[in-house]
Amino acid sequence: QVQLVESGGGLVQPGESLGLSCAASGSIFSINTMGWYRQAPGKQRELVAFITRSGSTNYADFVKGRFTISRDNAKNTVYLQMNSLKPEDTAVYYCNVGVVWQLRVTDYWGQGTQVTVSS
């Protein structure tokens, strides 16, 4: 009953920027933590960043100073602004949202959006 729709991926050159968004819709009372993960070919999924309901953020070391996570609670949307992109940032990026519904919290995943950084 909850759908996450991601957008914003694409192909960029090193040093350029991309902004990702993930909007949740459906049976939602509220949303707790929202985060972004990524998975490169042949590698495990890894946490990129997360943001709590109150706005506290945490970032993986490999994106600190380059990426910014934010959220709009009124729109049930989480964003990831990616600056100074590097080839090693190439991956499928997935959003993850903790949805509160009927006194339970359930994790939902977006469909993934491809980010390719190449010259």
pLDDT single digits (tens) 62-78: 999 999 999 999 999 99
In 1-119 the beta strands, taken as DSSP E runs, fall at 2-7, 10-12, 18-26, 30-39, 46-51, 57-59, 67-72, 77-82, 91-101, 104-109, 113-117
| 45: its two tokens | 């999924």
Instruction: Write out pLDDT tens, residues 90-103.
Output: 999 999 999 998 88
4-62 pLDDT, tens per residue? 999 999 999 999 999 999 999 999 999 999 999 999 999 999 999 999 999 999 999 99
pLDDT of res. 23: 97
Phi, psi of 76 (to 5 degrees): 50, 45
